Each structure stands twice: as C-alpha cells, then as structure tokens.
Structure 1
Amino acid sequence: MNADTAVAEIRELRVEVDGHVLVDGMDLRALPGTVTALVGPSGSGKTTTGLALLGEYPEGARITGRVRVSGDVVGHVPQQPSAVLNPARRVGALLYDIARRQVRTLPRARRRAEVRHRVLTALDEAQLPDGAAVLRRYPHQLSGGQQQRVVLAQALLLGARVVVADEPTTGQDALTKRRIVERLAAVAARGIAVVLLSHDLDVVRALADEVVVVRGGRVVESGPAERVLRTPEHPWTRRLLAAETTPGGEPAREDPVADGPVPALEVRGLTARHGGAPVLRTDTLAVHSGTALAVVGRSGSGKTTLARVMAGLHRDHDGTVLLDGAPLPRALRSRSREQTAAVQYVFQDARAAFDEHRPVLDQVARTAVRLRGADPAAARAEAAATLDRLGLGAETVRRRPSGLSGGELQRAALARALLARPRVLVCDEITSGLDALTRRGILDFLTTLPRDRGGLALVLVTHDLDTAALATRIAVLDDGEIVEQGPAGRVRTAPRHPFTASLLQAASWRRPAAGAGYGAPPGCRRTRVRPVHGSGSAV
C-alpha cells in the first residue's frame, strides 16, 4: 500500500514535556474502512498519539515528526467523555447545533424535521436508541457509557473520515460492550478509518485489522491483528497476552453474616431521581465489614447513582443510608469530617476529580491532612508509599494530572481515598481504564484491603463479571432495580434472573475457544471496505 492511501498517518512523532518523553518515534497509518488498534499499558503513549491526530498536544510540549490527516474532521471518542461535553448544555442543544449547520441549503419548511431525523439517527447508530429522552438530559445526568455514545454520535453527525476511539468500551457491561463493538465495526464498514486505543484485548480481537503494540512511548511490535495476537514476536506482547488470561486476586470470603447483624453500610428504601424522574429503586442493600459487594449492571442501569448515594454525592433521593447502623446525612457537605472519611468514593472519571494545577502527590497527601488531621510531612510520606505500592513512582506523582494517563490517575484516586483510612470504600469502575497487567495488580491489591485494612468494607461498581467474581456478594441492577443478589459464586454459576443470565451469556463472546474463529462476536459481521487508491477517500 502506498502512503497516500492512508487517511491518517504519523511518522517519527516525538512528544516531550518538561524532559519527560511521552511518545518517541511513533509511526501509525490508518486506512479507510479499517481499524488500527494501539495496544499497551497505561502511560504508554496511546492517548498522546491519538490526540496528535486531532492536532492536540500537552501544554508546553516539544514536538517533532509528521502528522497528516485527510479531510477537515477527525472524530474523537475520549476516555473521559465528560471532559468534552458542556455541563451547562443539554445533549440536544449540542447535537442540534451540528445538524442545523448541515441542512442550511434545504427549504426552511424541511429543516426542522431533517435536523431531528439526523440527530436521532446518529444517536441510534451510537447505541442510544432512546434518543428523545437522552436529548433532554444534561451530561451529568448520563452514565459514563451514555456520555461516550453521545460523543460518538457527535462524530458521526460531523461526517468524520477518521474516528479516534480512546478506550470506547471502558466502563461498559458485556451487553453494551458487544453492541459498541458491532457499532464501531459498522462505522469502519462505512469507509471510516477507526483508530482504536485500547487495553481490552477482547475488543481488539473483535475489531482490529492492524495492531500496534506500544510501551514507554515506543512501538515494540506491529502487524496484522491475527498475527500479532496469535503469534506475538516481542517478549512484551507475549507478557501482555499472558496477563490477560491470568485472573487477579482471590475471591473474598463468603460469609458476611459472620460479622454480626449490623452491616458496615446499608441502604434502605431508596428511590433516587434525576430531574424529578425516578432512576433507581431498592428496598435494601448491605455490605459487611471485611467483605466485598459487587454491583453489576449495564451502562445506565443506576450503578453510579447508587454509588453516589452511598457517598453522599447524590442528594435527590428518598430512603436512608446507614453507617454501622446509624443514619448518615443525605448530602456530603452535611456529614462530619469523621463520616466523610468513613465512606470514601473513587470516581469513574478520575481526571475530573483532580485539580489540574497541583501535583498529584500533594493532592493525595492533602486527604490525610484534611480528614484525619495528619501532620503534612507524615501525610506526604504515607501518600508516596501508597502510590508506590500502586505502581506510581516518585517521578510520576510529582507531575500535575495532565502528565499522567487515565489509568495512572485512577490508581492515584484510589490512593487518595485510602489515605482517609475509610470504613467503606466505594470504587466506581476502578479497573475499567487499565491494561491487563495493571488491572491484575489492582485487583490483587483490592482483594487484600478487607483483610489488611481492619475490616474495610469494599463496594465494587463494575460492568466486568470477572472483577465481580472477586467479591463476596453480587447485586445485579437492571433499569434501576436490583433484580438479583446473593453469594458471588452462586450468582455467576447459577443465576436466577433472566437478565443475569443474559449478562453472563454476553460475556462469553470475549475469548473464543482454541480453534474457534478469530474476530468479532456472533452477530458482528465485519464488512471490509477496499480503500480508494490515490485520494485516500472512503468508498
């Protein structure tokens, strides 16, 4: 293939910030109708490379090399979609503005209907079929997965010829992940070049035509997806693939009743609302000291709302949250310092939870000073030790948040919560932005917490049934209702509700058995699009 067939191309890209090299000698080519996947651990340079295609670089970066993109529009589905959605504007306002600019040549009488048709079609193609309801909401009223799909709809509306998808399935349940895989395959089938930045090798297997493996900002291996993922040549690629098949951590112990009749944290009679509309109902849900509760469900099912209610971050609800049998104030600002420290929340969007202008180490240490009254020097030493245990060294944590990857910031957010020495730790999709090696390390770390932290109660909000398997109990949410809860082993092996069974079945496509066909899940049929030579435009 000639270089001019590519709609996006990167040659010898080097990005350096304050002496720290983020990307070094990066090469990448994206062809119409194909999916090119960048695979590597958190902090390997995937996001920096993807943003280069949009012409975006970190502040103060020194840049050498060449980046070429055909056409005017590059679509971007970021790892943290809330960062690119205006919190003060409804979703409909954003999408209608884009569509209106596209129908100016139509007769005035037809414009309104055509605008609405285009917007609803884009939402449907991005796996948001309930488009009319989504259009009325603000970004904060959507789950992280719904926000991602709104951003994809925006890219489709703009007519992008290249779409950079940065961890597009992060935080997604198995059912939604499968649909997103199908949708990105359909985007490629329309002749759009998709650059997929992902730690999820199941998704890469299902979608990618070409794979580029990166580590430390350098390409260590590249080639056709089937060859790289079946017979990798580089030791690092082999290590990455091996980590994917090795589960992290050990399941928590199975008998929460042994802790006595009073749970560490309990939710009773909950009805939570967004904009006056009920989105979550549950009679009772509890987690005991020294155990882990996994809350599982698809995107938009109410998982994050439940977690935020527990932490005092969602006030619009009826019902009671009890800590050691005593009611907690509904709003975080009404809780005492001790109550705030006792229930800590690790956000799904870790980047939005940090002050962009202060070093990460200082922000982590500040938690111990503010909530425990710790000496600043002692707090800083404790913060450094906790961060180091999570794989974040001294040089990394002295940077501001913009100098860390999404996965690195997730680990920093976990360290910050632990410095409060909580009784209950609520983790919202804590492993969703991590590569296989880092994910395994975090799960190993999390499963030691109930034992090593004086009977800490752990709540894992997750779409990932493998992560849920590490919990003592599992609660399954669907459409704002807990449809099943029970011991983790029983729920995963003998589900009693049809929705739980469907989640388990949807997860089964991810790793085909030896000798099985390579590629997309059942029902996801990739249609290859032959590139047009010369112009680089799509068929």
Structure 2
Amino acid sequence: MTVVAEVRNLRVEIGGRAVVDGVDVSARAGRVTALVGPSGSGKTTTGLALLGEYPPGARVLGHVVTADAVGYVPQHPAAVLNPARRAGALLRDVAALGGGGRREVRARVEEALLSARIPDPGTVLRRFPHQLSGGQQQRVVLAQALLRGARVIVADEPTTGQDAVTKRGIVAELAAVAARGVAVVLLSHDLDVVRELADEVVVLGGGRVVARGPARSVLGPPSPQPPPAARVARARGPVRLEARHLTAAYGTGRGAAPALDGIGLEVAAGECLALIGRSGSGKTTLGRCLAGLHTDHDGRILWRGAPLPRGVRSRSRAELAAVQYVFQDPKAAFDEYRPVRDQVARTAVRLRGATPERAREEALRTLAELGLTEEQAGRRPGGLSGGELQRAALARALTARPDVLVCDEITSGLDPVTREAVLDVLAGLRDRGGLGLLLITHDLAAAAALADRVAVLEAGRVVEEGPAHRLLGAPRHALTRALTGR
C-alpha cells in the first residue's frame, strides 16, 4: 500500500522533556493504523505529527513526511468548528472551494454527508455546533475533511464517550473512509474497536513504541466480558438537587431546537444517578441546566428544596459551589496560559474563601489523589494529555466541596487503569462524604459500578428510570435494551 504520510525516529521535546522519542509510524492509503497506549503515552502528539502539527514551542527531531490534504477529527470536535456558523453553512463553505455552481456544491455536500453517515442531515445542517451532540459534531468534522479531499484522517478517540449504537455507526464510517483509499490513523483506548478496524497496531508507552503488528497478534483475541453486575441501591439520603418539569431549547422562534421535554429527576446525598441515552438525546443539556450553564429553560431546579437561579451569574457563591460541573471537553474549560495547579486552587479561594496557601496545598493533594504529580500540576494545560487534563478538571470541581457533582463523560478519555482510579475516588466521596453524583455516561460498566439509579433519555424525555441493578439487568424499553445489548 502507498505510504501517504510517515514519521521515522520522531522525537518531540516540550520544555526539554521528551513526550515522543524514537517513534516510527506510517499511514498507508486504504489502511487503518491504530495508536494505542495509556493517557500521556504520546498518541496524540504522534498522530498530529503525521499531519505536520506540533505543540507550541516543541522541538522536533527525526524524519517527517506529511500528506498534502489531511483531516483531523479531535476527541472534542467542537474545538475546530466555527461556533457562529450553522453546520450546513460550514460544509457549503468548504465545498465551494472546489468551484462549480450551487448544484455542484450541493452534490459534494450530500456526498460528504453520505460518507460521514450523518443521520437526519436536514436537522443537523440547520443547527449551530453547540446545538449538536458530540457524535453529530464529530460527523460534521469528518464530512469537512472529506470535502477537502483528505488523503489522511487522524481520528482521536472517535468512539470514546459514544453509546453502543453510535459507536457501531462510527466504526462503519471509518471503515467506509478507508475503503475509499484514505489512510486512517486511529488513536484509541477502545481495544475492541481497534481489533475490529485496525490493519496495524502501534502500542506506545512513555513516548516510545513498545509493540507493533497486526491487531490479533499484538492485542490478542477479545476476552469474553459478562455484563457488569450493577450495585443494589441503598436507603436514600435527603434530596439535594431536583428538577421539576424541565423544558429546554436551543434558539428561539422558528429556529428553536427542542432539547428537553418535561424532565423530572432527583439526586440525593450519597446517591449516584446515571444518565444514559443516545448521542443527542439531551443528556448534556440537562446537566448544563442543573449547573446554570444553559439558561434557556422552563421549569424549576431546586437545591435543598430552594429554587436555584437559572444562570451562574445569578447564583451565590454557595449555590455555585453546591452544583459543580465537569466538562466532557476539559481543554475548553481551562485558561491555556496559567498552570493547572493555580486554576484548581483558585476554585477553593473564589467559592470557599480559602487562603491561597491552603488552597494550593489542597489542590496538590486532590490532584495527587487523582494520579497527577506535583510536576504535572505545575504545567500549563497544553502540557497535559487529554486524560490528565480530565483528572485536573475533576480535581478543580472537587475543591469546591460540592453537594452534587455533574460528571459529563469524565471517564471517556481515560485509559483503563486511570479510569478505575477515578471511579474509586468518586465512590469514596459518595460513600464517605455524602456527595451526590449525576453521571452522564455511555460507559455502562462505570454506571453499574457507581450508580444507585439509572435514567434513560430519548429525544429529551426520560423513557425509563429505576434501580441500576434492575434497569441494567432487565431493561424494559427498546432503547435501553439496544444500549445495554440485552
């Protein structure tokens, strides 16, 4: 197969520290090459090097050959979409670069939509990026890359944070892209997806290649995994956070896009409610409403029985601290110019009135509990991997000492070892400290391990709710059965 892009003996240094050292990777036309390894192993740095992209201030050594036309589908695609342009306008702008009249432009857009397998394209094209789910944003970015005639697609954790049904669609999308002769470089923690898609697997550890070869020889066959046994709910504590008849939309008038329709739910002290559903079902919008980040809603949100103001600007320090939100895209939530340690500590100063010295000590202790060293904590956000930054975002929320923590796909970018450590921390806080958790997730094993109850969303409505052991073990609704594979 033709080599479209490659790196040989690649070394990338940031601040004198080698994040990639001696790596060889080739992207071949029509083939899928997967880079796997723990968070911080150098996957994203290597993948971007194939596109000729490097972290700011990086020193690069080795041989690099990049493709003329490249495409990058990041783990958090909203970061590369223009928030002021509707998805249809974004795609037409790219298609128009190829020349021709309206008919030709429309035909190219339709072909890209078909190749990216965007369901309900009419609805998607009318919406702004923030009105799309993560899976929909990802497909739009993929369609943009195909419109540009990309010869290489680097897909960074494309199935992470996706439900089982959407995940199967993404696998089919990437297989179809490779079948068109495009080289696909897949960066992933999802070994089952890697086994299904990859022609070659490169395993990274500490910035070096530790293994390579066909997926079956490197990873071995998948181990049979019994369905996770959900925990049985305990006696409930007092209700801390409640939503009543919550209805929300994006936009106004004829352009309004409904997101939630009459939602009612409760989170009690020491309880975990897991929220599952298809991509675009309204899970993130619900979490943002509860945290005061989405104000265009009707209904009531109560904290300890008292109404909460709609937006964060109207909430007191105590109300802000009480309901903390951990974003699926942590990079967008950090100031890129300040050390992570300082940003975590600032939460304790701003919301709890802690002294700077005590806040710094608490920040370092919390970061250490989540697996980040003092040296890592002193870096700016750009010096951490996506998984490391996700742990820092969780630490920042915990320093507010919230009543309820809204976690939006926080395990999605983590390797298995780190994921288990984060779940252990959350379980300890729930059991010992009475922390209420709203876990927005497609990770059903995490839901089974943490959740007392599970609610299933479809088109902005709760279609099934109940104890975790019952709902995950014997689901009744068709959507829940599809999500759980039962």
- Structure 2: 5+ residue stretches without partners: none
Report the Cα offset of residue 313 of structure 1.
Answer: 0.5
Identity of aligned residues (%): 65
8 Å contact from structure 1 (residues 343, 424) kept in 2: yes
Q: Secondary structure at the match of 1:264?
A: strand
Paired residue total = 481
Structure 1, unaligned runs of 5 or more: 105-110, 232-240, 509-539
Corresponding residue for residue 74 of structure 2: 78
User: Does the 8 Å contact 1:251/1:447 carry over to 2?
Assistant: no
Over residues 457-484 of structure 1, what are the superposed CA-to-partner deviations in whole Å (9 max), with x where a residue is unaligned?
0010011211211200000011111100
1:325 match:
305
Write the mapping of 1:193-342 to structure 2, written as runs, cut at 5 A. Answer: 193-230=183-220, 254-256=233-235, 258-260=236-238, 263-275=239-251, 276-342=256-322
Secondary structure in 1 matching 2:113: helix
Q: Deviations over 1:182-201 (max 9, x none)?
A: 11011111111100000111
Q: State the one-letter code of the partner of 2:24.
A: D
| SS of equivalent residue, structure 1 residue 15 | strand
Match of 1:174 in 2: 164
Q: Is 1:464 aligned with 2:406?
A: no
Instruction: Name the CA shift for 1:398/1:283 in 2 (closer, same or farther; >3 Å).
Output: closer
> Would you say the 8 A contact 1:124–1:131 is kept in 2?
no
Partner of 1:533: none
- Output aligned runs, 1:102-117, within 5 Å: 102-104=98-100, 111-117=101-107
Answer yes or no: is the 8 Å Cα contact 1:252–1:447 preserved in 2: no
Please show how residues 405-416 of structure 1 align to structure 2 within 5 Å: 405-416=385-396
* Distance in 1 (alpha carbons) for counterparts of 2:281 and 2:111: 23
The residue correspondences of 1:506-525 to structure 2 (distance < 5 A) are none
Residue aligning to 1:492:
472
**86, 91, 97: which one pairs with 1:95?**
91
Change (3 A) 1:478 1:217: same
Task: Tell me which residue corresponds to 1:532.
Answer: none
Distance 1:326 1:301 in 2: 28
Shift of residue 247, structure 1, vs aligned partner = 10
1:245 CA displacement: 6.6
Deviation at 1:252, TM superposition (A): 5.5
RMSD: 1.8
TM-score, scaled relative to structure 1: 0.86
Which residue among 25, 35, 39 is the counterpart of 1:38?
35
Measure, in 2, the Cα distance between the counterparts of 1:168 and 1:338: 37
| Amino acid in structure 2 at the alignment position of 1:350 | P
Residues 27 and 183 of structure 2 are in contact (CA less than 8 Å); yes or no, is this contact kept in structure 1? yes
Q: How does 1:118-137 map to 2 (within 5 A)?
A: 118-137=108-127
- Match of residue 144 from structure 2: 154
For 1:264 and 1:142, how far apart are their aligned partners in 2? 30
Q: Distance in 2 between matches of 1:413 and 1:120?
A: 38
| Contact 1:173–1:299 (CA under 8 A) maintained in structure 2 | yes
1:69 positional shift: 2.7
One-letter amino acid matched to 1:463: H
Shift in Å at residue 165 of structure 1?
0.4
Alignment of 1:300-449 (within 5 A): 300-449=280-429
Structure-2 separation of matches of 1:468 and 1:125: 33
Instruction: Using the TM superposition, give the Cα deviation of residue 113 of structure 1 relative to its aligned residue in structure 2, in angstroms.
Output: 2.3
Displaced runs of 4 or more, over 6 A: 244-248
Amino acid at match of 2:249: R
Which amino acid counterpart does residue 255 of structure 1 have in structure 2?
Answer: R
Corresponding residue for residue 13 of structure 1: 10
Contact 2:263–2:461 (8 Å) recurs in 1: no
Deviation at 1:329, TM superposition (A): 0.5
